[in-house]
Amino acid sequence: MSKRRKTIDTRYVAVSSFERLEMCTMIGFSTLLHGNVIDIIIEDTSIASKSILEPGVINEELLINLSIDQGPEGDAGKYFLEDGIKLDVITEIRIEFLNILNIDHLWVMPNLIKLHLSNNIIEKIENLDALVHLKELNLSFNHIKIMENLNHLIELEILLLFNNHISKIEGIDNLHKLHIFSIGNNQIKDWEHVMYLRQFKYLYSFNINNNPCLDKDGYQEYLIAFVPQLIYYQYKMITKEERQSAIIKEQCVISNIEEEEAKKKKQLEEQEAFENLQNLLSKSYVEYLNDDNFFWHMFLDDKEGKDLSAVNSDTENAFEEYRKKISSICYEFSEIGLKEQVKRDNEIKLFNDVVNNGKSKVQNESKDIVDEILEEKIKIFSQINLLFNILDDEMDEMDDNVEVVYNWYIHFNDMISKTWTKLMSKEVVIHDQLVEINEVFKVNMTNMIEQFLETAREYFSQLRNAEADYNDNINTIILYYISGFEASHDLHLRVIDAREDRMLSRLKTWHNEYCEELYNNENNRHRQKILEITHLLQDIRKQFHSLILLHLPYFEINNFPSLTISEK
């Protein structure tokens, strides 16, 4: 095996430990750190034998075995195995050097944060949809040709695609949190990706070593100039001098690009502000009433009305006055709608605060009760075990102590029953209180909504009156258009009626569904809490009975009353 030595200057040492590890992986596995210099011995190893192996398959068995191998050691590892391998809670896994061809079955690990799939024969990036929490993805040393199916990994910070067959950087527009990106040893030829990388504002380390795009002089300066957020290039810190030189060289182009980006940013901000306002108006049930949108909506299918408005200057003036009147009414009503929504939001917040405080109080009190019985359980179990350990050597006295055990038995079961009564009493009380609070909330919200709807009816009446006034004005101005305009008048009234009906229906539907959801959630919570209390105490009782029978197999276990409560 041939070996050759490379020396890297001290600026490489400034990169993160993760990047140093990846850099060592890319060019060898034996590293020696001497002072300010990293000596890397590159070992030319052949992987030809790997290609003739049968492709590996990612399945649940493999994932479990890897989780065990890569799990914690010592006592932590013991507990890890005792608790059972729960793939859905594991946050990191390495599936490397296993000749994996297809990415599959990873949906069983939705909480992965770090995923290493390097040194396989993967040809396609796929089946990562469930890994929405992923922050680190290593697909280096594979056979990938296209960057795809990555856009949904919006939490991704580290993306390693070193040594593949990729010819274009694409498909990662939504990875706004990207910090480290390595795509060295691929087939990227042009420089188009440089402008593409400008959008990743948190990208501070980029590696594109050994790609055809570097064959043309000036790439490094071009990249540094147009991706100013970069701190490291090819795992080497960019110096102040390098950055200044690159910027000066491309200053004119940079200025134009920054000006264009500022315009686009402003447009996006305005669009976002508009969408946020429309969402708020929709939530308040007054969408598109804050301007003249509703007015023009009335003329959307009214060709005759539009024609009449432009017959002469008198009709044009009447039409403009009508537009201002309708728009003014709509705007005034939209402002009221927004204020009423604030009142409803405040009422909901107050309701949630009261409910959550009540639940927290009962939960803390119940926890103290449970902690108390668990402490008592430990004491009693310890005393029983101690007693039987002593009596193992004094079998003649065993029968004399059965009565002592029986007294403990009665005491413990009585304690279980009393604890159950305490916990259930608190649960019943909080349930009754929450049901009552839900009813008060429903009444308060009903009153608020009815007041708002009454106001809404008044404003829609104003819209109808404005429409009637306009109709009269036009009739006076153009008598010979009367037949056609009456149809226009009826159409406008239908639009106003439909808008009113839709508002009333939506608001009432929300109110009914919201209150129904509150009742259902509380009933489900109440039933679940009853089951939790009952199962907990039944389990403690079973543990105690098992302990007694372990030492006294002939001991008669009485049938104590079951821990149940009749549902209301």
Beta bridge partners of 43: 3
Q: Is the pLDDT of residue 20 over 60?
A: no
Which one, of 143, 190, 147, lies nearest residue 163 by Cα? 143
Question: What pLDDT is stored for residue 368 in this prediction?
Answer: 92
* DSSP assignment letter at 56: B
Work out the pLDDT band at 401, boundaries 50, 70, 90.
low
CA separation for the pair 306, 238 (Å, rounded): 65
Of the chain, the percentage scoring pLDDT greater than 90 comes to 48
Assigned superfamily of 53-271: Ribonuclease Inhibitor (3.80.10.10)
Spell out the long-range contacts of 50-53 with Cβ–Cβ below 8 A and sequence spacing 24 or more: 50/97, 50/99, 50/121, 51/121, 53/99
Q: Is the pLDDT of residue 540 over 80?
A: yes
DSSP string covering 187-204: ---SSTHHHHHTT-TT--
The radius of gyration of the chain's CA atoms, rounded to the nearest angstrom, is 37
- Residue scoring higher pLDDT (276 or 549): 276
Is residue 150 within 8 A of residue 172, CB to CB? The reply is: yes
CB atoms near residue 78 (< 10 Å): 11
Which one, of 51, 137, 135, lies nearest residue 97 by Cα? 51
Q: Is the pLDDT of residue 76 over 60?
A: no
pLDDT tens by residue, 113-171: 999 999 999 999 999 999 999 999 999 999 999 999 999 999 999 999 999 999 999 99
Beta bridge partners of 557: none
Q: What is the mean pLDDT of residues 32-39?
A: 33
Treating both helix axes as pointing N-terminal to C-terminal, what angle do 240-249 and 251-283 enclose, rounded to 10 degrees? 90
CA separation for the pair 471, 484 (Å, rounded): 11
Is residue 36 within 8 A of residue 10, CB to CB? The reply is: yes
CA separation for the pair 182, 197 (Å, rounded): 12
Lowest mean pLDDT among 72-81, 187-196, 530-539: 72-81
At 272, list the tokens. Answer: 């976002």
Q: Is the pLDDT of residue 16 over 50?
A: no
Question: What pLDDT is stored for residue 566 in this prediction?
Answer: 41
Q: Is the pLDDT of residue 482 over 50?
A: no
Q: Which residue has the tokens 């669009």?
A: 271
Strands of 136-138's sheet in order across: 92-94, 114-116, 136-138, 158-160, 180-182, 205-207, 232-233, 236-237
CB atoms near residue 317 (< 10 Å): 13
Question: What pLDDT is stored for residue 67 in this prediction?
Answer: 87
Question: What pLDDT is stored for residue 74 in this prediction?
Answer: 63
Work out the pLDDT band at 31, boundaries 50, 70, 90.
very low
CA separation (Å) from 559 to 155, 440, 542?
Answer: 55, 44, 12
CA separation for the pair 320, 496 (Å, rounded): 19
CA separation for the pair 22, 182 (Å, rounded): 9
Q: Where in the chain is the domain with CATH 1.10.287?
A: 292-485
**Pair type for strands 236-237 and 232-233:** antiparallel
Characterize 7-19 residue by residue with b for buried, 16 or more Cβ atoms within 10 angstroms of its Cβ, and e for exposed.
ebeeebeebeeeb
At residue 335, what are phi and psi to the nearest 5 degrees? -65, -40
- Residue scoring higher pLDDT (427 or 557): 427
Mean pLDDT rounded to a whole number for the chain: 82
Question: What pLDDT is stored for residue 261 in this prediction?
Answer: 85
CA separation (Å) from 118 to 170, 180, 316?
Answer: 20, 16, 72
Is residue 163 within 8 A of residue 140, CB to CB? The reply is: yes
CATH number of 292-485: 1.10.287
pLDDT tens by residue, 514-534: 889 988 998 998 888 888 888
Question: What pLDDT is stored for residue 122 in this prediction?
Answer: 95
Lowest mean pLDDT among 38-42, 180-184, 200-204: 38-42
Q: Is the pLDDT of residue 270 over 70?
A: yes
CA separation for the pair 235, 413 (Å, rounded): 67
Residues 6+ apart with CB under 8 A from 80: 71, 72
Question: What pLDDT is stored for residue 23 in this prediction?
Answer: 47
Does the predicted model carry a pTM greater than 0.75?
no
- Tell me the three state secondary structure of residue 6: strand
Residues 6+ apart with CB under 8 A from 467: 326, 489, 492, 493, 496
At 541, list the tokens. Answer: 């009782």
Work out the pLDDT band at 33, boundaries 50, 70, 90.
very low
At 444, list the tokens. Answer: 């308060």
Q: Where in the chain is the domain with CATH 3.80.10.10?
A: 53-271
CB atoms near residue 426 (< 10 Å): 18
Q: What is the mean pLDDT of residues 326-335?
A: 93
Work out the pLDDT band at 29, boundaries 50, 70, 90.
very low
Question: What pLDDT is stored for residue 391 in this prediction?
Answer: 59
pLDDT tens by residue, 228-248: 999 999 989 999 999 999 888
Residues 6+ apart with CB under 8 A from 179: 157, 158, 202, 203, 204, 205
Q: How far is CA 186 from the centre of its chain?
A: 33
Question: What pLDDT is stored for residue 378 in this prediction?
Answer: 87
Residues 6+ apart with CB under 8 A from 294: 288, 326, 327, 330, 499
Which one, of 430, 433, 435, 428, lies nearest residue 566 by Cα? 428
CB atoms near residue 86 (< 10 Å): 13
